[in-house]
Structure 1
């Protein structure tokens, strides 16, 4: 396509205009077949097969040819300009036939290397209703492996960034489920526009409960996920349906604080839970769309796991909060050397102080004693499951992961004691662990009340002995208030009865550790994760403090 070309609408149908000159099928076909003309898509004939990175001229010409063919409704032509025409063809054809796009203008922006952003301005028409629809996406041009031709690297996300799986399609028509009007526990409406992190959550709630509460479907442009387990996503509403009202456990004030707090970092998540009931008060992620890391993430939690490890040691009578415990600079276990941050040691310190200072070696030195008391059947995995509910198949109301602490021995067990190795958690799990420590009893976190669909909540095998729960709370209070506590600085702004635990997880191949922080204030517990954030109090800590201050 000539420089300055763009796609436009003429007479309500797809057409292409290039600097005021009509642009027809010959040049498109020439680009596809690699004819002998002067177009930069040519890759055969006298020039032979091209190799090496695509040139800026090839990026410009290929992207414009592809966008022109797509906009004019030539889905087969557009597909043949990609490196996977078999997959691309039906998706591109569906843009007109399934999504009911009657007209479109697609305007490419300046290329960044081989990537070209573009804006789609479309008109969707169905059952006598027409609506404008605008969005942005991007494509990348690569060199074909066999032909050497420059081609669009096909992914469904080229058509729309929210098309993330091969089975997903954009459709227009009556939605498959009724609409819902989700509200917080005080009756305040929750929308994705006001609370962006709740967008994917609201999609799941609609799929699960939209028809249950009398909601009637509207006419929408939506992404049909093609899967029962993945919710559809509304892209544009042409005619509103009648929403049913669904009450959640969210607190709009806490949610607003959580949304604001995670925006400080590129990848961050936080969850807040009410210890006395298990009600989820906030869920926030940055980025706000896509994967719900706060509920579904699976990564090492670092020293926040020491809450569970401390409970195990206290239950076995191997430590007490006010009794002296060894805290050397390093400790060896089964060939693994475990160190404290910057090699610090605590001479004559109590276990409570070692907890508050996050002394790794104080925990590692007790592994042999754990195994001598009652054997491997009463280890960290059992403590995590029987007391803190980890791995019990939680029924929160949306998709969630409930944490994992596999059975381990030797060096792997040593890593688990300090939240490394095979232990995986997310902010929901760590917030729940903190809530259990605060309340003394595991109460399964939930976003929608159980009587809405009569689902069974997970129940832990036993509660924490009262003396253990008291000592855990006291040690977390020291962490948040004592001069030597690793969380004292960040928790200084939080009022009320408060406690905390910092954590950092060292991830292979990642130069800076992940930041973890969890804490409670009165009847609210929160946990946050910041990828590559460093020490727990540095990044994740301020996120939790901001959420707790919103209670």
Structure 2
């Protein structure tokens, strides 16, 4: 902002520090109390304003709110927002719950109605103080009933990690400290592996005490949500860490971190097929929601791994059997087409799989004679929907029962199918190994949990044909370009492009394996699977 206003507490007294203007704390508050200072709003003195907030209104409203917040004046700060009840409680808790004894808030230049700012605070607990610096932002809107410019209240205004159910606290952490290590004993930290931040938080909350860790003194966000770990913001006194062995491979994790940074909205997971051990998990953005484990999206044609297994098991196709791949196919009045309307004519089914021909799959649905068969195959062979216990919160996929055209859409990974890259990486791992091994991050011996088990393995002949088709996809199909640099004695792949309503460009999906490592990735609005998600998977496989 032009004035460079700062609000601070110095020696226990809150003041306003301004550079370039004569602007004192008293005048700042006159606008609220009806005086003649900036932001004056005397009752009846002016008509209720309407329309978008002006630049001056944004600047003055932001200054007033930040000053009230820094001063610990929760009631005043609350009245400068469009949600006084929640805002007032949060500002009060900032001082009383988080134990902030001093705060200096520096606004930045407004971008439209949004004002970024930095906070330099001091947290004091039991006579010991520690600095706390971070950035956040606020947005100014016009009040619906008063017409006044008000801060659009969100808990993230106070701190970007604060949510509606969360609370800032300073005191003894609820979980013991842990030193998480990879499968070879390399320490895993948030600083080195940012994507592991949410993972390490959950592992600490769940296994801190089980590893002998003792809690330290911290400023943290108490999540208030079951399954969501508290987030440490400032460590005042280190706890005694317990050693937690994970299945992560530091080299594979590092490759995954680098790969997802190339694309906004990218996620990747790598799994060892023969055991189910998770070797890497990475997201961009790294902080916040763990999309790789908890996301729910249509996976596009990567799900054809399951569909092909179903059709092979039913005896409706063989890898080398000729099937039709027309430009369009209809099922119960719903028409399906191939990417850019291509057609292959009568070709071996392995060719339709390698080129990701949607219509070849759709034309065989009627012969299955069971619209719910795909979900059964996914559950009974690939372990989808079996309540996985990975060690942290995860979603294990869903293919709900459908009929007609909606069931047909599921065959090509669209419609009501919901997956994430953990699920698709596991499906790929099952195709490679032949038997579902539930993915996990920490040993079940640590807490005695029971792993999910699928009802049966892939029949040997089905597994061989499925891998042959995935091998063809990786060598001369839609995955060939991405997999060209991947070595190994045996490799396979499957691409996917998931059409999502409202998006101009489809989501890019890719699944692949090389020897005893399988991986899957998604890039939001990344287009064709081989173009964006493919190189992410290739980078991870090469690191393994």
Out of 414, 418, 422, the residue aligned to residue 416 of structure 2 is 422
Distance 1:389 1:446, change over 3 A: same
Q: Distance in 1 between matches of 2:4 and 2:513?
A: 59
RMSD over equivalenced CA pairs, Å: 1.5
TM-score, normalised via structure 2 length: 0.97
Structure 2 spans left out of the alignment, 5+ residues = none
The superposition leaves residues 348-371 of structure 1 with CA deviations (integer Å, 9 ceiling, x where unpaired) of 310011100111111111011111
Q: Which residue of 1 aligns with 2:514?
A: 521
**SS state of the match for residue 73, structure 1?**
coil
CA contact (8 A) 1:481 1:488 kept: yes
CA shift digits 1:381-415 (9 cap, x unpaired):
10010000001000000000000011122101110
Deviation of residue 14 (structure 1)? Answer: 2.9
Corresponding residue of 1:141 = 140
Residue of structure 2 equivalent to 1:8: 8
Counterpart for residue 538 of structure 1: 531
Deviation at 1:15, TM superposition (A): 2.2
Is contact 2:28–2:37 with CA below 8 Å preserved after alignment?
no
1:200 maps to 2:201: no
- Deviation of 1:460 (Å): 0.3
Say whether 1:312 aligns with 2:305.
no
Q: What SS does the aligned partner of 2:92 have?
A: helix
Q: CA deviation at 1:226?
A: 2.0
Residues 43/508 of structure 1: CA separation in 2 closer, same or farther (3 Å cut): farther
**Counterpart-to-counterpart distance in 2, 1:5 and 1:516:** 48
> In structure 2, what is the equivalent of residue 151 of structure 1?
150
Partners of 2:71 and 2:174 in 1: how far apart? 30
The 1:116/1:41 distance shift into structure 2, 3 A limit, reads farther
Pairs within 5 Å for 1:206-245? 206-245=204-243
Q: Are 2:485 and 1:493 equivalent residues in the alignment?
A: yes
Q: Which sits farther off after the overlay, 65-74 or 515-524?
A: 65-74
> For 1:47, what is the secondary structure of its paired residue?
coil
Kindly indicate whether the alpha-carbon contact (under 8 Å) linking 2:508 and 2:528 is maintained by their aligned counterparts in 1.
Answer: yes
User: What is the aligned partner in structure 1 of residue 501 from structure 2?
Assistant: 508
Would you say 1:74 and 2:66 are equivalent positions?
Answer: no
Q: In the TM superposition, what whole-angstrom CA distance separates every residue of 1:5-61 from its partner, at most 9, and x where no partner exists?
A: 312343354322334857234541x3225x363633527433211111111111111
Q: Distance between the aligned counterparts of 2:471 and 2:2, measured in 1?
A: 69
> Which sits farther off after the overlay, 469-478 or 91-100?
91-100
Q: Is the 8 A contact 1:41 1:58 kept in 2?
A: no
Check 1:297–1:43 CA distance in 2 against 1; reply closer, same or farther (3 A cut). farther
Matched, 1:252 2:253: no
Q: Corresponding residue for 1:163?
A: 162
Q: Distance in 1 between matches of 2:254 and 2:315?
A: 43
* Secondary structure of the corresponding residue to residue 90 of structure 1: helix
Equivalent in the alignment of 1:469: 463
Change (3 A) 1:98 1:306: same
Q: What secondary structure is seen at the aligned counterpart in 1 of 2:210?
A: coil
SS at match of 1:125: strand
The SS at the match of 2:171 is: strand
Which residue number in structure 1 is paired with residue 123 of structure 2?
124
Q: Secondary structure at the match of 1:48?
A: coil
1:265 counterpart (249, 263, 266): 263
Aligned partners of 1:2, 1:429: CA distance in 2, in Å? 50
In structure 2, what is the Cα distance between the partners aligned to 1:152 and 1:6?
Answer: 18
Counterpart in the other structure of 2:24: 23
The CA distance in 1 between the partners of 2:503 and 2:42, in whole Å, is 41
The count of aligned residue pairs is 542
Partner of 2:393: 399
Distance 1:136 1:27 in 2: 23
Given candidates 331, 334, 347, the residue that maps to 1:333 is 331
- The separation in 2 between residues aligned to 1:540 and 1:228, in whole angstroms, is 32
CA distance in 1, matches of 2:345, 2:63: 70
Aligned-pair CA distance for 1:75? 1.6
Corresponding residue number in structure 2 for 1:57: 56
